[in-house]
């Protein structure tokens, strides 16, 4: 907690939330930890100080108020914070997937921006989470016009890392009665066989790329 508060300059009177998630993220047979930190109170207070409360509230206080840290399970070293710009009304959602290797997991970070949701992919490189890809999961929640996507992982076409294959999908119709509900609803997404795009991993760049359409 001292590391979290020190690197994020969190004063003693600020309320914030943190959560931990465990997985082997580097193949050394030790459980590593991803820590998420949410600073909703800071977002609201900064908006009040700047006199932009109404506008910021309408936009969901989007900013650098959600962060992740990586704790190496073997060395106990903590990384610097990595900001995930998003609405702090929604806490980051962490999951893990074998993408680069069957020997360890990659990190999936889901975050909300108003009525849309995105997923960022990270892999551990020299004891630091490095972003490799980002994909929109849905948009237009509660609106008439919506879009959604599902993701599958298939055998790598250009490297040993799996391809990330994105398919078009249908988003559940949801009625939003209060602006804050949009951050709490986890809508169902119905997948299809209609391919949106296939992404392949480039080992040299440590990123995902796709062919021109």
Percent of the chain exceeding pLDDT 90 equals 85
Q: Give dist(CA 74, CA 76) in Å, integer.
A: 6
Cα–Cα dist 40/8, whole Å: 13
Dihedral of CA atoms 34, 37, 38, 39 in degrees, nearest 10, equals -160
* pLDDT of 57: 75
pLDDT, tens digit only, all 213 positions of the chain: 889 999 999 999 999 999 999 999 999 989 999 999 999 999 999 988 887 777 777 778 899 999 999 999 999 999 999 999 999 999 999 999 999 999 999 999 999 999 999 999 999 999 899 999 999 999 999 999 999 999 999 999 999 999 999 999 999 999 998 888 999 999 999 999 999 999 999 999 999 999 876
Helix (H) or strand (E) holding 65: none
Alpha-carbon span 63 to 84, nearest angstrom: 8
Identify the pLDDT of residue 213. 66
Per-residue pLDDT, 56: 77
Cα–chain center distance at 153: 17
pLDDT digits (tens, 9 = 90+) for 137-182: 999 999 999 999 999 999 999 999 999 999 999 999 999 988 889 9
CB-based contacts of 197, cutoff 8 Å, min separation 6: 165, 166, 210, 213
Rounded to two decimals, what is the model's pTM?
0.94
- In sequence order, the β-bridge partners of residue 113 are 116
The domain locations on the chain are 2-210
């Amino acid at each position: 907690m001292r590391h979290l508060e020190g690197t994020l300059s969190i004063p003693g009177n600020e309320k914030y939330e943190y959560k931990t998630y465990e997985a082997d993220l580097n193949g050394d047979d030790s459980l590593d930890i991803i820590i998420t930190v949410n600073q909703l109170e800071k977002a609201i207070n900064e908006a009040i100080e700047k006199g932009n409360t109404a506008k910021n509230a309408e936009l969901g206080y989007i900013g650098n108020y959600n962060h992740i840290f990586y704790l190496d399970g073997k060395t106990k070293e903590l990384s610097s914070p990595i900001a995930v710009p998003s609405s702090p009304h929604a806490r980051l959602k962490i999951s893990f997937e074998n993408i680069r290797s069957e020997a360890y997991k990659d990190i999936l970070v889901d975050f909300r921006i108003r009525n849309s949701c995105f997923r960022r992919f990270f892999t551990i490189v020299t004891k630091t989470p490095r972003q490799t890809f980002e994909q929109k999961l849905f948009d237009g929640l509660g609106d008439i016009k919506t879009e959604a996507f599902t993701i599958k992982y298939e055998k790598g076409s250009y490297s040993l890392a799996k391809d990330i294959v994105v398919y078009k999908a249908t988003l559940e119709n949801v009625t939003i009665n209060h602006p804050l509900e949009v951050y709490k609803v986890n809508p169902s997404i119905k997948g299809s066989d209609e391919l949106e795009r296939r992404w392949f991993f480039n080992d040299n760049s440590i990123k995902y790329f796709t062919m021109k359409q």
